Amino acid sequence: MAGGGTKRRKRRLQLSKLYTLTCTKACFKPDHSQIGGPGFSRVVYCNEPDSPEIDSMNYCDNYVRTTKYTLATFLPKSLFEQFRRVANFYFLVTGILSFTPLAPYTAASAIAPLLFVIGATMVKEGVEDWRRKKQDIEVNNRKVKVHRGDGNFDSREWKTLSIGDIVKVEKNEFFPADLVLLSSSYEDAICYVETMNLDGETNLKVKQGLEVTSSLRDDNFKGFEAFVKCEDPNANLYSFVGTMELKGAKYPLSPQQLLLRDSKLRNTDFIFGAVIFTGHDTKVIQNSTGPPSKRSMIEKKMDKIIYLMFFMVVTMAFIGSVIFGVTTRDDFKNGVMKRWYLRPDSSSIFFDPKRAPMAAFYHFLTAVMLYSYFIPISLYVSIEIVKVLQSIFINQDIHMYYEEADKPARARTSNLNEELGQVDTILSDKTGTLTCNSMEFIKCSVAGTAYGRGVTEVEMAMGRRKGSFLVFQSNEDDVEYSKEAVAEESTVKGFNFRDERIMNGNWVTETHADVIQKFFRLLAVCHTVIPEVDEDTEKISYEAESPDEAAFVIAARELGFEFFNRTQTTISVRELDLVTGKRIERLYKVLNVLEFNSTRKRMSVIVQDEDGKLLLLCKGADNVMFERLSKNGREFEEETRDHVNEYADAGLRTLILAYRELDENEYKVFNERISEAKSSVSADREALIEEVTEMVEKDFILLGATAVEDKLQNGVPDCIDKLAQAGIKIWVLTGDKMETAINIGFSCSLLRQDMKQIIINLETPEIHLLEKTGEKNAIAKASKENVLSQIINGKSQLKYSELAIGCASVICCRSSPKQKALVTRLVKSGNGKTTLAIGDGANDVGMLQEADIGVGISGVEGMQAVMSSDIAIAQFRYLERLLLVHGHWCYRRISTMICYFFYKNITFGFTLFLYEAYTTFSSTPAYNDWFLSLYNVFFSSLPVIALGVFDQDVSARYCLKFPLLYQEGVQNVLFSWRRILGWMFNGFYSAVIIFFLCKSSLQSQAYNHDGKTLGREVLGGTMYTCIVWVVNLQMALAISYFTLIQHIVIWGSIVVWYFFIAVYGELPPRISTDAYRVFVEALAPSLSYWVITLFVVVSTLMPYFIYSAVQMRFFPMYHGMIQWLRYEGQCNDPEYCDMVRQRSIRPTTVGFTARLEAKKRSVRRSESDS
Amino acid sequence: MSSIAASSTIGGSGSAEPSGVKKTSKRPKYSKFTQQELPACKPILTPRWVILTFLVAGVVFIPLGVICLFASQGVVEIVDRYDTDCVPETSRNNKVAYIQGAGDKICNRTIMVNKTMKHPVYIYYQLENFYQNHRRYVKSRNDAQLRSPREEHDVKTCAPEDNVDGQPIVPCGLVAWSLFNDTYRFSRNNQQLPVNKKGISWKSDKENKFGKNVFPKHFQKGAPIGGGALDPNKSLSEQEDLIVWMRTAALPTFRKLYGKIETDLKSGDTITVLLENNYNTYSFNGEKKLVLSTTSWLGGRNDFLGIAYLTVGSICLFLAVTFAVLYLVKPRQLGDPSYLSWNRSAGGLQ
């Protein structure tokens, strides 16, 4: 598959011998005795598709379903979901009640909008699920080669796989199911696996098949039969117990033989495996939990508003019922009928004066139904439609499209859009998010001399800081990008080293040429990289377990030590001979590899060079290496330490290189003991090996140190600066060590020299003391996991969070994925504000799911983070646009939309209530049934949807230019209770004005020139017309952004109303009932109808207009101020603009703007001092 | 690291991985629409707009108010409340008994015409405190039955006025049953003034809602008898009193058209009304009024609209001036950050 075009040569290798720590012989462990017992009952017949036992076992197939519904469950399940919403349930109840005589309107008019709304939501659910289904189909129809008997392999879909099949997986393919590794392209059946999708670890893992099966190739599968017994499906990724019976002999199986679905084959051409678990039995799917469903703060608040509305409805209904009950009772007293025309003597229970309390109760139900127009039935569906459309805009934003990776932004869930506008704290992963996860060899220190003139991003940032502010403020972008471009063009990927002193073979003339030689030789030899030679170009590429290893080998190659071949026991390097000055090929015999792991923090190889000398080459972290130096190996220690510190300051990753020579005897002893330890079967095998390696890894002679740059992603400092100006706090959570993290903090302008730093770690456990020093301008660094977990679990949690939240920026180092999630929870619960987590790796999944919004970077580290994120973007810098533009807009749109929704429904619903007061609360609706039910659907819905989708207070350019605008969302000024209640109040008084003006204008006098007086339908029609005008014009007043769409929907809604009433009136009276010809005959020909409409509409809108004019002029909100700026054209005057911006920006503490400000301050201070 | 495993999810985790084959670019297509850059008009409430709006509103409203007021004032309206006066002094303690009792309830009223009334002069009866909009009342009818003789038996919504002795009542229901039945006869100078009772109902009602071949049946046959009776030989579409009555009023105070006088009434004329006071409004303390009114282009007499227009128009003019002064006195300070609430609490935010 990959690289199929070019031929590559690679020797067959038995790399297992190299690995001291990971590859060991399989052995029976106590667990294996449980096979066959409960929980360990699985039986697999490998390569026997026709075996009769297969049918009887009934294991699930390899089809994986991630959809929410199936065809059969869609209807009941989605309906259930719908009616779980309290408002929808309420409408369902009123809908059912409308079939009873209680209903004030016809059942059809009540049910139709509900059906429409539910139907629309279900269609949306269906479409979304269909997308998931398509993804499932894609996954399930991927092809894999399956053994078809006689040694032939056919391509088949994943879903057709069944237990016991033999599959052949090729390089860079995913495993289709959980497999037992039989053999690989390597002689000893090892293979490399990338498990990023499972655990987020980017380094490759080595797996090894059983020795007995390692010789199997395509042809020998004919007649191969094996019988596997193993544990039942479970979710534990790191355990596996089983036995394989092959030709009568039993062999133990361990996790070492298990290849998990969704992990990827790397650095290995192909493997053969037997399918053990399929489909939903696989460990990764057993592990999967549905993503937590997140709801935005606005939506939660909206629920509260709905409850408030319910309360109002109930209150109004109750008041009405009491009055109704009293008047009904009074209608028939002592045999005297009061309102005789109602026949109170012979009445049904609903109006029976003798059973007035009961009648009042039934009336209560009727009234609750009638006032249901208070609750906007279409609110949920409108919001959902709006959010889907908003998501489309996010997906379509060309400014968030990453050209290089061909990745646009993708809003995976649409229900958090507005939450993007309210983010208070960003919790960011470091690697892959702020940094590229591409390592570049940039500097080194050899024999106490520092080499390398490459400029790091950090140094650029430093230079920017030191340089003149004015120059950089205006065009720092250009500087940054141009430098980057230069750097990228000129060099090999992973290599950014420039120093004429040692490049191009010049190093031979340096004073310590021998040390330099050893230094680069060590880089060329001490690794686990596999070279691949392109046969056509003879170019060598490397496949490494981690990017820094590749950087080292590449550096060695570029400097003349070209590692070009690896066999199972040797490494071949082309290098310059110091004596002859020619390039020669050298062969190093690799005797042992002691791999890197996080506790050892070092990696060593033991090699024998051509002279027969035994060398132990080692590279590792400074703290473990310096203490292992021999007395005579510390020649350059001081200088190297200085350099290492300097590099760390510049934000580079450093490693110390050292070596020692071993004498024959020492090696012999070591080799015996390590072999002994390796073959040991006891549980403390690892400890034994550790002990043995500890013995030889000492008395090193120091060579020097390397510095690798962890490159910052494009535009990160810029983006952080903008976000900081917007008042968003940024926390960095990283697994890196403290120094690296601090360095990255400096390079992203999160930290500044003049800030007070508070470092919390094991060395200073008195956190309480720190409370006192917890000043505002401070950095807290919670370092070392145990302190963090103490903080999280312990009593000091509250104080810690108080301290941390008071800090300008917080960096948490050495945090595990779980701790990241816990910190996220801490922040979330600490201040109750919205948190956004951004990360790219599977180790960020916990954090992404815990945070209010999870943003996944769809970068290089696989899709795990993206799959569990709510929104995926390709680069960190797009966060700026995502939050400041889309977040702000969406927040504004949704909050205004919800406020407006309640406004328009109160305006409408309250006129119903007011009319009730004139019908002794008998629940006569003021309007025709269909006017009632279509209000929310036709005459007021489209403008509000257009508002939710298209409205812009200020354009994207100004959103970015004035980041503080974002605080409107963080402070939640647009959806505060004050604003919500303000809009509700607007609704109430609009209703009052409309009703009373209409009622007073349309009294009992003749209504037209013909002397006709009005009936219910005329009052209703006039009032309804006024309401349609008022709510639509109110919309036009409230927004300040009119595209053609706004014009169409706003004026269109009004036109639609006239059209509707005219057409509906022409329908036969059987259908149109009292609206029959009411418009053409009664309303339209009567001048008073038009005069009243004009008057009522203008009068109703007047108070809001006055309020709005005063507010806009004298108390503008921030967006209002920007609108003024734009309107008055002062935005083109940069100085003026800057003045406004500076005046309105609160002093930020983070970001380079703040840094420049601080610099200015200090300059000023020093000036005034002198 | 083991903690993370528990939360890992699946679902085609590798699906978005580049699958070797070069796919078409996912670059979003540029359009003004998708980039939300549509040309837009972005009005804001500038002083000019605010003042202009108020001015226009004022300038339009005040003349309109004057016109409306003139129209309303031009209408001559004579209202005569007779519910109490038409009950003999002796029976005033128990008006309900009087109205429900047998016998002639003729009553003479004299109306002075103070201003010339151009024909047609509309005759209304006005009822107060009568809830024609009560839900029970509004629903107590059957439109199908009114339209077509075939639906005669469809009386399901009409209880208790649905059947009498097992026979369906046409028209059924409380609305028809409570038909207003006071009658007026007018004379001027002992000369009968004819009352035209044709064309007092809406045309659509007459033609489409009340059948030409539907005749009253068993109407007001059962006890108790509510209001007026109908001529069983006249089809419903010709019974305009019923049609008018059955278009239920919106509010508890309402007028309904009784008829038209097709001659001018001169100023100083004395009109004698021979009134048959049959309708019971006494049990619910309802007032009954006889109204003679001309109409203008705006309808009947109601000063409210004109006065309201004038008021709002004046307020608008006043506001226009006020705003103009405000804008002059207190020019806006650009970018004044003190309005921003979060600036005040900035200390706590850092």
Q: How far is B265 from chain A (nearest CA, A)?
A: 17
In DSSP notation, B203-263 reads HHIIIIIS-TT---BSTT-SSSP-S----TTS-GGG-HHHHHHHS--SSSSEEEEEEEE-S
Q: How far is A696 from chain B (nearest CA, A)?
A: 29
Q: Within a 10 A sphere around the Cβ of A845, how many other Cβ atoms?
A: 29
pLDDT tens digits for A192-234? 887 766 655 566 777 888 888 888 887 777 778 888 888 888 8
Let me know: does A960 contact A1107? Beta carbons within 8 Å.
no
Model confidence at A757, pLDDT cuts 50, 70, 90, reads: low
Contact A1077 B204 (CB under 8 A): yes
Written as one letter, the residue type at A614 is L
Closest residue in B to A779 (Cα–Cα):
B350
Residue A1023 CB-density burial (10 A; 0-12 exposed, 13-18 middle, 19+ buried):
buried
Find out whether A1093 and A1002 touch, Cβ atoms under 8 Å: no
Yes or no: say if A1121 and A1127 are a contact pair by the CB < 8 Å rule.
no
A734 is in an annotated binding site: yes
Average pLDDT over residues A1136-1151: 57
Nearest C-alpha in B relative to A969: B342
> Which of A290, A918, A1013 is facing B255, going by the closest CB pair?
A1013
How would residue A993 be classed by pLDDT, with cut points 50, 70 and 90? very high
Sort strands B254-261 and B121-127 into parallel, antiparallel or unpaired: antiparallel
Question: Residue A1060 annotated as binding?
Answer: no
Q: What is the pLDDT of residue B330?
A: 77
Greatest C-alpha distance within chain B: 112
Name residues whose C-beta falls within 8 Å of residue A537's C-beta, 6 or more positions apart in sequence: none
Cα torsion angle, A885, A888, A891, A894, sign: negative
Inform me whether the pLDDT recorded for B82 exceeds 90.
Answer: yes
**Comparing B289 with A1170, which gets the higher pLDDT?**
B289
A813 neighbors A430 (Cβ within 8 angstroms): no
Give the pLDDT of residue A363: 92
Per-residue DSSP letters for A1074-1091? GGTTIIIIIITT-HHHHH
Helices (H) and strands (E) in chain A, counts: 39, 36
Question: Which residues of chain B are within 8 Å of residue A997 when distances are taken between CB atoms?
Answer: 308
Amino acid at A220: N
Q: Provide the pLDDT confidence category of residue B197 given band limits of 50, 70 and 90.
A: very high
Q: What are A1092's two structure tokens?
A: 């009243």
Read off the pLDDT band of A830 (50, 70, 90).
confident
Report whether A649 contacts A741 (CB < 8 A). no
Q: Which of B204, B249, B334 sits opposite A1140 (nearest CB)?
A: B334
Residue for token digits 């939309």?
A897
Judge contact between A143 and A249, C-beta under 8 A.
no
CB atoms B34 and A817 under 8 Å: no
pLDDT band at A57; cut points 50, 70, 90: low
Q: Does B2 contact A1147 at a Cβ distance shorter than 8 Å? A: no
State how far the Cα of A226 lies from the Cα of A233, in Å rounded to an integer: 20
- Of the two residues A858 and B146, the one the predictor is more confident about is B146
Judged against a pLDDT cut of 80, whether residue A478 lies above it is answered with no
Question: In what side-by-side order are the strands of the sheet with A756-760?
Answer: A410-411, A871-873, A853-857, A834-839, A423-429, A729-733, A809-812, A778-782, A756-760
> Residue range A658-674: average pLDDT?
86
Residue A482 has pLDDT above 70, yes or no: no
- Evaluate whether A616 touches A695 at the Cβ level (below 8 Å): no
Task: Please tell me the distance from the alpha carbon of residue A871 to that of residue A501, in angstroms, as a whole number.
Answer: 48
Q: Is A844 marked as a binding-site residue? A: yes
Chain B residue with CA closest to A235: the answer is B6
Contact A198 B330 (CB under 8 A): no
B256 vs A contacts (CB less than 8 Å): 1013
What are the chain A neighbours of B138 within 8 Å (beta carbons)?
924, 1016
The string of pLDDT tens digits covering residues A333-349 is 888 888 999 988 888 88
In this predicted model, which residue has the larger pLDDT, A717 or A358?
Answer: A358
Interface contact A1144-B137, CB threshold 8 A: no
- Inter-residue contact A885 to A895 (CB < 8 Å): no
The model's pLDDT over A885-923, given as tens digits with 9 standing for 90+, comes to: 999 999 999 999 999 999 999 999 999 999 999 999 999
CA–CA separation, A237 and A226 (whole Å): 24
Q: β-pairing, A729-733 with A701-712?
A: unpaired
Per-residue pLDDT at A991: 96
Distance from CA of A1039 to the nearest CA of B (A): 9
E strands along A698-785, which residues?
Answer: 701-712, 729-733, 756-760, 778-782
Evaluate if residue A10 carries a pLDDT over 60: no
**Residue in A with minimal Cα distance to B160:** A346
**C-beta atoms surrounding A998 within 10 Å:** 26
> 3-state class of A425 per DSSP?
strand
Look at residue A1169 in the predicted model and tell me its pLDDT.
Answer: 60
The amino acid sitting at A525 is V
Q: Over 50: is that where the pLDDT of A1068 sits?
A: yes
Residue A617, both tokens: 């080459």
Contact A403/B27, CB-based, under 8 Å?
yes
A368: exposed, middle or buried (Cβ count in 10 Å: 0-12, 13-18, 19+): buried
User: pLDDT per residue over A565-616, tens digit each?
Assistant: 887 778 888 887 777 777 788 888 888 888 776 667 788 888 888 888 888 8
Contact flag B144-A1070 (C-beta cutoff 8 Å) = yes
ipTM confidence: 0.91
- CB contacts of A135 in chain B (<8 Å) are 11-12, 15
The tokens describing B144, both together, are 């199908």
Confidence of residue A1091 (pLDDT cuts 50, 70, 90): very high
Burial of A1001 (0-12, 13-18, 19+ CB in 10 A): buried
pLDDT average, residue stretch A659-677: 85
Minimum distance, in Å, between the CA of residue B286 and any CA atom of chain A: 10
pLDDT band (50, 70, 90) for residue A937: confident
What pLDDT was estimated at residue A782?
45
Q: Is A179 helix (H, G, I), strand (E, B) or coil?
A: strand
Residues of A with a catalytic annotation lie at 429
What letter does residue A443 receive in the DSSP assignment? E
Nearest CA in chain A to B346: A1146
Amino acid at A1074: D
Phi-psi region of A307 (alpha: psi -120 to 50; beta: other; left: phi over 0): alpha
Cα distance between residue A390 and residue A890, in whole Å: 7
Q: Do B120 and A1011 touch (CB under 8 A)?
A: yes
Model confidence pLDDT, tens digit, residues A156-188:
888 888 888 888 888 888 888 888 888 888 877
Does A219 belong to an annotated binding site? Answer: no
Residues counted in chain A: 1170
What does the pLDDT read at residue A1160?
A: 67
Average pLDDT along chain A: 80
Contacts of B28 in chain A (CB under 8 A): 395-398, 401, 408
Strands in A813-906 per DSSP E = 834-839, 853-857, 871-873
B-chain CB neighbours of A334 within 8 Å are none
pLDDT tens column, B198-232 = 989 999 999 889 999 999 998 988 778 888 889 99
Annotate A479-517 with b (16+ C-beta within 10 A) or e (fewer).
ebeeebeebeeebeebbbbbbeebeeeebeebebeebbb
Q: Chain-centre distance of CA A475, in angstroms?
A: 32
Predicted confidence band at A763 (pLDDT cuts at 50, 70, 90)?
A: very low
Asked if A398's CB is within 8 angstroms of B301's CB, the reply is: no
A11: three-class secondary structure by DSSP: coil
pTM for the full predicted model? 0.80
